[in-house]
Amino acid sequence: MVKRLVLAAVLVCLLAAPAGAREGAPRLTIFAAASLTEAFQRFDSAEAYSFAGSNTLAAQIKQGARVDVFASASPQYTQDLFRAGLVEKPVTFATNRLVLIVPKSNPAGLTSVYDLARKNVKLVVAAPAVPVGAYTRTVLRKLGLSSVLAKVVSQESDVKSVVGKVALGQADAGFVYVTDVKPVAGDVASIRIPAWAQPRVRYEIAVVRSSSQKAAARTWTTRVRGKTGQAALVRAGFGKP
């Protein structure tokens, strides 16, 4: 009878434990692109995250930061770290698209991305080394609008900073990922970018070789690429790999 009661108590504890929880183990430290903030925190709030521009996070890993997993908004940075022997083989886990956002009040009266060239606007973009900043310049080049970069009033360190400037009305427009629009839907409006001008936005994830929790880190990256992780990413607006 006692054995049955003990077994039942163990089962209750297991069922009550949150998905992905590792009893008694320290939290994983996960460096992730700023655009993954909402998706990753909803998917698994139990880990320790650092969200920023992928270029900034990659530089910190090169400098010896204690990290278990790195999720980048561009293969450039995961592949660079892989060639340097600092991460295990990166794997694609999500895709994304760019969109032009304007404040809800749209003071510049923008209705098309081409209006950026025709009107006097204050444009905010991410810096060239930030993935979304590089993708922005690809979009403008494909559209024949590279000249509008002369209207940039601020170059930000990550996509959330671009979103914030536009949402607060400190700029007339900014280029961000489509996944960044939902959290500020009440403050901004979106202007579509033609599909043919979209860059190939591919997210990669990798386990950091210096991690002291490699087994747990590998399991976590597998979960992100699994059914639950992919469902969370799709709900946030990301495309499947």
pLDDT tens-digit map of 33-57: 999 999 999 999 999 999 999 999 9
- Give the mean model confidence (pLDDT) for residues 115-135: 97
Q: What is the pTM of this model?
A: 0.88
Confidence (pLDDT) at 141: 98
Q: What's the pLDDT tens digit per position in 161-218?
A: 999 999 999 999 999 999 999 999 999 999 999 999 999 999 999 999 999 999 999 9
d(CA 127, CA 161): 11
Confidence (pLDDT) at 26: 86
Confidence (pLDDT) at 3: 40
Sheet with 48-52, strands from edge to edge, namely: 48-52, 29-33, 69-72, 201-207, 91-96
Q: Are 70 and 206 in contact (CB under 8 A)?
A: yes
Strands (DSSP E) found in the chain: 29-33, 48-52, 69-72, 91-96, 98-103, 123-126, 152-156, 173-177, 188-191, 201-207
d(CA 9, CA 116): 63
Domain 2-95+201-235, second-level architecture? 3-Layer(aba) Sandwich (3.40)
Confidence (pLDDT) at 182: 92
What is the token pair recorded at 214?
Answer: 């490699």
SS3 at position 95? strand
d(CA 98, CA 4): 56
d(CA 107, CA 129): 29
Burial of 79 (0-12, 13-18, 19+ CB in 10 A): middle
Confidence (pLDDT) at 16: 38
**What CATH code is assigned to 98-197?**
3.40.190.10
Task: Give the residue extent of every domain in the chain.
Answer: 2-95+201-235, 98-197
Higher pLDDT, 23 or 77: 77
Q: Are 134 and 149 in contact (CB under 8 A)?
A: no
pLDDT > 80? residue 231: yes
SS3 at position 137? helix
User: Read out DSSP for 27-54?
Assistant: PPEEEEEGGGHHHHHHH-TTSEEEEE-H
d(CA 224, CA 34): 16
pLDDT > 70 in the chain, percent: 90
Contacting residues for 64 by C-beta, under 8 A, at least 6 apart: 210
Residue 18's pLDDT band (boundaries 50, 70, 90)?
Answer: very low
CA dihedral 21, 25, 27, 32 (to 10 degrees): -80
Confidence (pLDDT) at 24: 61
Confidence (pLDDT) at 23: 58
pLDDT > 80? residue 12: no
pLDDT > 50? residue 6: no
Confidence (pLDDT) at 95: 98
Q: Are 124 and 165 in contact (CB under 8 A)?
A: yes
pLDDT > 50? residue 10: no
Question: Average model confidence (pLDDT) for the chain?
Answer: 91
Q: Are 205 and 89 in contact (CB under 8 A)?
A: no
